[in-house]
Structure 1
Amino acid sequence: MLLTPRAALPVLLLCVALGCARETTTATMTAAPLAPDVHSFARPAEARVTHVALELQADFTAHRLGGRATLTFVRRPDVRQLVLDTRGLEIRQVQDERQQPLTFRLEPPVEHLGQALVIALPASGDRVVVEYRTSPEAAALQWLTPAQTAGRIHPYLYSQGEAILTRTWIPTQDSPAIRQTYEASITVPRPLSVVMSAEMTTPNGTDAGNGLRAYKFKMDQPVPPYLIAIAAGDIAFKSLGPRTGVYTEPTMIERSAHELEDLEKMVAAAETLGGPYRWGRYDVLVLPPSFPFGGMENPRLTFATPTILAGDKSLVSLLAHELAHSWSGNLVTNATWGDFWLNEGFTTYFENRIMEALYGKDRALMLASLGRNELMREMADLPPADTKLSLDLKGRDPDIGMNAVAYEKGAALVRTIEQAVGRDRFDPWLRGYFNRHAFTSITTQEFVADLQQELIRGDTSLRDALNLPAWLDQPGLPPNAAPVQSPAFAPVEGEARRFAQGATASSLVVSGWTPQQWQHLLEQLRTVTLTPAQLRDLDATFRLSASGNSEILFAWLRVAVARQYAPAVPALERFLTAQGRRKFLRPLYEDLMQTPWGQPIARRVYAAARSSYHAVSTQTIDTIVK
Structure 2
Amino acid sequence: MKSIAYAASVLFLIHAGTGAMAAERAIPAPVLTTPEALDEWTYAKPQEARVTHVALDLVADFENKRVYGTATLDIDALPDANSVVLDDAGMIIQSVTAADGRVLEWAIGVRDKLLGAPLEIKLDGARQLTIRYVSAPDAAALQWLPKEATAGGRQPFLFSQGQSIVNRTWIPTQDSPGIRQTWSARITVPDGVIPVMSGLSLSEKGVATGDGRKSYRFEMNNPVPPYLVALAIGDLEFRKLGPRSGVYAEPEIVEQAAAEFGDVEKMIDAAEALYGPYRWGRYDMLVLPPSFPYGGMENPNMTFLTPTLITGDRSNTDVVAHELAHSWSGNLVTNATWKDGWLNEGFTTYFENRIMEAVYGEERAAMYADLDYEEMQAIIQKTGPTSSATQLHADPSDGPARIQYFKGATFLRTIEQTVGRAKWDAYLKSYFDRHAFQPQTTAGFLADLRKNLVKGDDALEQKLQIDRWAYQPGLPDNAIAPQSATLAAVDETLALFNAGGAVQDVNVTGWSTQQWLRFLRGLPREQSAMRLAELDDGLNLSRSANAYVQSAWFEIAIANRYDPAVPAIKDYLKDIGRILLLRPVYAALLQQGDWGRPVAEGSYATAKPGYHPLTQKVVEGMLKPE
TM category (shorter chain) comes to over 0.9
What is residue 548 of structure 1 aligned with on the other side?
545
What is residue 284 of structure 2 aligned with on the other side?
283
**CA shift in 2, pair 1:327/1:402, >3 Å:** farther
Q: Residue 453 of structure 1: which of 447, 451, 457 is its match?
A: 451
1:565 aligns with 2:562: yes
What is residue 6 of structure 2 aligned with on the other side?
13
SS at match of 1:175: coil
1:535 aligns with 2:532: yes
What is residue 164 of structure 2 aligned with on the other side?
163
In the TM superposition, what is the alpha-carbon distance from 1:439 to its structure 2 partner?
A: 0.5
SS at match of 2:483: coil
In the TM superposition, what is the alpha-carbon distance from 1:29 to its structure 2 partner?
A: 12
Q: Is contact 1:30–1:76 with CA below 8 Å preserved after alignment?
A: no
Q: How many residues align?
A: 606
What is residue 109 of structure 1 aligned with on the other side?
111
Matches of 2:154 and 2:541 in 1, distance apart? 32
Q: Is contact 1:29–1:74 with CA below 8 Å preserved after alignment?
A: no
Matches of 1:265 and 1:578 in 2, distance apart? 32
For structure 2, the residue ranges without an aligned partner over 5 or more in a row are: 15-26
Matches of 1:357 and 1:267 in 2, distance apart? 11
Matches of 2:484 and 2:218 in 1, distance apart? 45
Q: Is contact 1:29–1:76 with CA below 8 Å preserved after alignment?
A: no
Matches of 2:260 and 2:31 in 1, distance apart? 46
In the TM superposition, what is the alpha-carbon distance from 1:498 to its structure 2 partner?
A: 2.4
1:385 aligns with 2:388: yes
Is 465-474 or 51-60 further displaced after alignment?
Answer: 465-474
Percent identity of equivalent pairs: 46
What is residue 418 of structure 2 aligned with on the other side?
420
Q: Is contact 1:29–1:75 with CA below 8 Å preserved after alignment?
A: no
1:274 aligns with 2:275: yes
In the TM superposition, what is the alpha-carbon distance from 1:366 to its structure 2 partner?
A: 0.9
Matches of 2:3 and 2:406 in 1, distance apart? 33
What is residue 3 of structure 1 aligned with on the other side?
none
Q: Deviations over 1:512-548 (max 9, x none)?
A: 54332221000001x4432111111112111122222
Is 201-210 or 477-486 further displaced after alignment?
Answer: 477-486
In the TM superposition, what is the alpha-carbon distance from 1:569 to its structure 2 partner?
A: 1.4
Matches of 1:400 and 1:65 in 2, distance apart? 33
Matches of 2:186 and 2:12 in 1, distance apart? 19
SS at match of 1:43: coil
What is residue 93 of structure 1 aligned with on the other side?
95
**CA shift in 2, pair 1:38/1:200, >3 Å:** same
What is residue 49 of structure 2 aligned with on the other side?
47
SS at match of 2:253: helix
In the TM superposition, what is the alpha-carbon distance from 1:136 to its structure 2 partner?
A: 2.8
What is residue 411 of structure 1 aligned with on the other side?
409
What is residue 616 of structure 1 aligned with on the other side?
614
What is residue 491 of structure 1 aligned with on the other side?
489
What is residue 153 of structure 2 aligned with on the other side?
152
1:65 aligns with 2:74: no
In the TM superposition, what is the alpha-carbon distance from 1:617 to its structure 2 partner?
A: 1.0
What is residue 239 of structure 1 aligned with on the other side?
240
What letter corresponds to residue 625 of structure 1 in structure 2?
L
What is residue 575 of structure 1 aligned with on the other side?
572
**CA shift in 2, pair 1:401/1:303, >3 Å:** farther
What letter corresponds to residue 571 of structure 2 in structure 1?
R
Q: Is contact 2:86–2:119 with CA below 8 Å preserved after alignment?
A: yes
In the TM superposition, what is the alpha-carbon distance from 1:462 to its structure 2 partner?
A: 0.9
Matches of 2:247 and 2:279 in 1, distance apart? 19
Is 487-496 or 218-227 further displaced after alignment?
Answer: 487-496
What is residue 4 of structure 1 aligned with on the other side?
none
Q: What are the within-5 Å matches in structure 2 for residues 163-182 of structure 1?
A: 163-182=164-183
What is residue 188 of structure 2 aligned with on the other side?
187
In the TM superposition, what is the alpha-carbon distance from 1:500 to its structure 2 partner?
A: 2.3
What letter corresponds to residue 119 of structure 2 in structure 1?
L
Matches of 1:122 and 1:229 in 2, distance apart? 31
Is 305-314 or 537-546 further displaced after alignment?
Answer: 537-546
Matches of 1:512 and 1:614 in 2, distance apart? 33
What letter corresponds to residue 569 of structure 1 in structure 2?
V
Matches of 2:325 and 2:28 in 1, distance apart? 33
SS at match of 2:568: helix
SS at match of 1:202: coil
**CA shift in 2, pair 1:486/1:30, >3 Å:** closer
CA root-mean-square deviation: 1.9
SS at match of 1:250: coil
Q: Deviations over 1:298-346 (max 9, x none)?
A: 0000000000000111111100000000000100110000000000000
Matches of 1:115 and 1:508 in 2, distance apart? 56
SS at match of 2:112: coil
Matches of 1:29 and 1:78 in 2, distance apart? 21
Q: What are the within-5 Å matches in structure 2 for residues 129-528 of structure 1?
A: 129-382=130-383, 384-391=387-394, 393=395, 398=396, 403-525=401-523, 527-528=524-525
Q: Is contact 1:296–1:322 with CA below 8 Å preserved after alignment?
A: yes
What letter corresponds to residue 32 of structure 2 in structure 1?
P
Matches of 1:466 and 1:356 in 2, distance apart? 24
Matches of 2:366 and 2:377 in 1, distance apart? 17
Is 142-151 or 471-480 further displaced after alignment?
Answer: 471-480
1:33 aligns with 2:16: no
In the TM superposition, what is the alpha-carbon distance from 1:505 to its structure 2 partner?
A: 0.3
Q: Is contact 1:500–1:529 with CA below 8 Å preserved after alignment?
A: no
Is 545-554 or 39-48 further displaced after alignment?
Answer: 545-554
In the TM superposition, what is the alpha-carbon distance from 1:572 to its structure 2 partner?
A: 1.4
Matches of 2:564 and 2:244 in 1, distance apart? 47
**CA shift in 2, pair 1:436/1:401, >3 Å:** farther
**CA shift in 2, pair 1:380/1:238, >3 Å:** same
Q: Is contact 2:86–2:120 with CA below 8 Å preserved after alignment?
A: yes
**CA shift in 2, pair 1:318/1:32, >3 Å:** closer
SS at match of 1:445: helix
**CA shift in 2, pair 1:512/1:209, >3 Å:** closer
Matches of 1:296 and 1:387 in 2, distance apart? 24
Matches of 1:588 and 1:509 in 2, distance apart? 26
SS at match of 2:218: strand
**CA shift in 2, pair 1:458/1:287, >3 Å:** same
Is 162-171 or 530-539 further displaced after alignment?
Answer: 530-539
What letter corresponds to residue 556 of structure 2 in structure 1?
V
Q: Is contact 2:32–2:439 with CA below 8 Å preserved after alignment?
A: no
SS at match of 1:143: strand
What is residue 128 of structure 1 aligned with on the other side?
129
Q: Is contact 2:487–2:518 with CA below 8 Å preserved after alignment?
A: yes
What letter corresponds to residue 87 of structure 2 in structure 1?
D
In the TM superposition, what is the alpha-carbon distance from 1:359 to its structure 2 partner?
A: 1.1
Matches of 1:481 and 1:271 in 2, distance apart? 27
SS at match of 1:128: strand
Q: Is contact 1:163–1:399 with CA below 8 Å preserved after alignment?
A: no
Q: TM-score, normalised by structure 1?
A: 0.94
Q: Residue 56 of structure 1: which of 55, 58, 61 is its match?
A: 58
Q: Is contact 2:2–2:47 with CA below 8 Å preserved after alignment?
A: no
Q: TM-score, normalised by structure 2?
A: 0.94
**CA shift in 2, pair 1:102/1:77, >3 Å:** same
Q: What are the within-5 Å matches in structure 2 for residues 594-605 of structure 1?
A: 594-596=591-593, 597-605=595-603
